[in-house]
Structure 1
Amino acid sequence: MDFTISHLFCALITLIAVVARALEITSQGSTSIEMASGQSVMLDCQFTLATEDSGPLDIEWSLLASDNQKEDKVVILYSGDRAYEDYYPAVKGRVHFNSADPKNGDASINLTMLKSSDTGTYQCKVKKAPGIRSRKMLLTVMVKPSRPRCYAEGPTQEGKDVVLRCVSVEGTSPLQYTWEKTSDTKLLPASAMLDTAGGTMNIRNASNSYSGTYRCTAKNRVGMEECVLQLSITPPPNTAGIIAGAIIAVLLALIIIAIILFCCCRARHRKKYEKEISYEIREDVPPPKSRVSTARSFTSMGSHRSSLGSMSPSNMHEYTPKLQYDKIPSVEDYDRPPSQAPLPPPVAGRMGAPNLSRMGGIPVMIPAQNRDGSIV
């Protein structure tokens, strides 16, 4: 019984000694690396083999998942004396082994053109039966600050509070901003208050001596950028002059508007007056010619009727007019004097009293007249 226990104890010691002389990773560098985007990094993984490690050599680099529910991503693999670099599409073409023959003890890899998405924990696992070892490294890819923009917020007048701002759009936090004056005494104003995290500098009760060139620097652990601002403190504006000028401008505008309205009203009144005058009948304008002719014709017709009234039945047939309703008298007929008026055509036969009574007419006694129209 004691012999058996002693043999088991010796076997355990021998196994521990064999394992101690087996595969080992000898890299002693930092396991946390911070790099800037766009740069390259080497993830170190050196190892040694023992004579007892007789199996095939396998080297595997993987990106460990931050969530235990997800699988790890194999980045690059060496197996059967061959390297496989197309496992992870996110780093395809940007990762390769540092040594052309990793089995000589160098399992390190180079990762180029770093991106912020490359941030994570990488594990180097070396296997050669019966030995197996691994090493983890945390890689943080930081983005250096972009070129900041410097500007003054609000009015830059004497006696006012001036705010200078410095903003960098890109950059991995934390970012730190610093202000400095690069002209004259190169001293910041005594009333200046700096905000290194927000990038602002407040200057109270600014004066002309605060004018000059200022520089702002934005930096983090992987880089820095800067911008320059030219600050000019101006005297306060002449308020009284501005008010007087505004009043004069308003008065001139009102005068111009009044002149325009007066001209428009006057032109409108003149147009209306001319339109009314054009419809009035002036006394010095002679009446139309047709009206005069019509009046004369009525006068001549009246005199003709009077002459007819003095005629006897014996000669009445000579002056009996034969009306024509289908003929309209012309203007020349009205303008012709009574002496030149055409005589009516003679009647074919005389109409006696019997005939006149037969036709329904009433005989009238007409005094006898001579040719001159006087009563005989």
Structure 2
Amino acid sequence: MELPPLLLGASLVLLCFAGLTRSLTITSVDQSTFEKAQGEKVTLPCTFELSEEDEGPLDIEWVLIPADNQKKEQIIIMYSVDRVYNHYYAALTGRMQFTNLDPRSGDGSLDILNLKAADTGTYQCKVKKAPGVQSRKIQLTVFVKPARTKCSIEGSQEIGKDVTLKCVSQEGSPLLSYDWKRVSGTQNLPATSILNKNTGELLLKNASREYSGTYSCVASNRVGTDECSVELNVTPPINTAGIIVGAIIGTVLGLSVLCSIIFCLCKKHKEKKYEKEVHHDIREDVPPPKSRSSTARSYIGSNRSSLGSMSPSNMEGYTKTPYSQVPSEDFERAPAQTPSFAPSKYDIEHKTGDITVV
């Protein structure tokens, strides 16, 4: 009996479906997206079942599919002929391994340790055992927790002024969200405050003394949080005019003192210079020299006295004494002005009384 065409087609579809169910199948289909924090561990599932028709050697490959479709897939780890090959991808070397030490048991899941932001990507598990071939893709996103969050104050902290509290995390994957809270006093933000969760800025308009206190900022993303705080102290306006006058007076006084010091130093320097010049010309500790003219006169007078007492017998030797050797510069320089006292023959005879003048 010949079957109608419709029933014949349905029978062929059922036979084909029955054949597919008997081939290799991947059973881990519960989760295809994972979000983890940097430094954590992730297990990418890849469990499978074999059929009686799958008689070839078992091969399990994990590949990283690049975001750019123009690039080739990168094998990161492989199990083939009862051996594990894990040296294909240097970025994950030492940080990845099969979850089950014997993948032939039907578990080809992959563990990645100490996750990094660069590990983000699409991973694909391929299981081959001829004639069966199956694969499954998993999206992994590695987030960086907020870290090194810093709080600061921008603007004047005076009554009536607008002041902005800022909060920024040096590390952290987007999108980061910031939230401010007051941890002292009423613990409620002022009524005039405006918060921007994306930038972390809290604007306090027309600040008053009641706004003073400790404020805390919490930065967060999908995998963690970080916190910082700042102390706000709203004070009365500063007397700017008084500060300016004080600064001017202080500057004038400082310049006056400086000028006085410079003047004293210059005066002292001149006095020292003058003392050195005087000391070089005339030494105060040396007594003044005796009069040279007096020395010459006393010397000549003493010679005259000696001549008056000499006799003719000893005159001969005395007359040989050179009078030019008198120690007087004045006497040597002006001989014409000094009278010659050399004894004459007349004087000798007159004084002795033995010789008569002719």
- TM-score computed with the length of structure 1 as normaliser: 0.71
CA contact (8 A) 1:176 1:196 kept: yes
- Which deviations, in whole Å up to 9, do the C-alpha atoms of 1:126-173 show, x marking residues without a partner? 111111111111111111111311121343222332221111111111
Tell me what 1:352 maps to.
none
C-alpha separation in 1, matches of 2:69 and 2:326: 125
Tell me what 1:205 maps to.
206
CA contact (8 A) 1:145 1:224 kept: yes
Tell me what 1:246 maps to.
247
CA contact (8 A) 2:299 2:326 kept: no
Per the alignment, do residues 271 and 76 of structure 1 end up closer, same or farther by CA in structure 2, a change over 3 Å counting?
Answer: closer
Tell me what 1:365 maps to.
none
2:120 equivalent to 1:126:
no
Tell me what 1:289 maps to.
291
Q: What SS class does the counterpart of residue 209 from structure 1 fall into?
A: helix
What fraction of aligned residue pairs are identical, expressed as a percent? 45
Q: What SS class does the counterpart of residue 148 from structure 1 fall into?
A: strand
- Which deviations, in whole Å up to 9, do the C-alpha atoms of 1:282-307 show, x marking residues without a partner? xxx98732132346779999x9xxxx
C-alpha separation in 2, matches of 1:148 and 1:169: 6
Number of aligned residue pairs: 330
CA contact (8 A) 2:296 2:326 kept: no
C-alpha separation in 2, matches of 1:84 and 1:43: 18
Per the alignment, do residues 196 and 291 of structure 1 end up closer, same or farther by CA in structure 2, a change over 3 Å counting?
Answer: farther
Shift of 1:35: 0.9
CA RMSD of aligned residues (A): 4.4
Per the alignment, do residues 268 and 119 of structure 1 end up closer, same or farther by CA in structure 2, a change over 3 Å counting?
Answer: closer
C-alpha separation in 1, matches of 2:73 and 2:94: 20
- Which deviations, in whole Å up to 9, do the C-alpha atoms of 1:66-88 show, x marking residues without a partner? 33443322222222233333332
Letter in 1 for 2:90: P
Gap regions ≥5 residues in structure 1: 304-317, 347-368
CA contact (8 A) 1:19 1:131 kept: no
- TM-score computed with the length of structure 2 as normaliser: 0.74
Tell me what 1:219 maps to.
220
Q: What SS class does the counterpart of residue 325 from structure 2 fall into?
A: coil
Q: What SS class does the counterpart of residue 62 from structure 2 fall into?
A: strand
CA contact (8 A) 1:64 1:120 kept: yes
Shift of 1:238: 2.9
Rg larger for: 1
Gap regions ≥5 residues in structure 2: 305-315, 332-337
Q: What SS class does the counterpart of residue 206 from structure 1 fall into?
A: coil
Tell me what 2:325 maps to.
328
C-alpha separation in 1, matches of 2:266 and 2:118: 78
- Which deviations, in whole Å up to 9, do the C-alpha atoms of 1:17-74 show, x marking residues without a partner? 3124312222222322111111111111222222222222221111123334433222
C-alpha separation in 2, matches of 1:243 and 1:13: 97
Shift of 1:218: 0.6
Letter in 1 for 2:325: I
C-alpha separation in 2, matches of 1:190 and 1:151: 21
Letter in 2 for 1:236: P
Q: What SS class does the counterpart of residue 172 from structure 2 fall into?
A: coil
CA contact (8 A) 1:150 1:216 kept: yes
Shift of 1:112: 1.5
C-alpha separation in 2, matches of 1:92 and 1:82: 17
Letter in 2 for 1:185: T
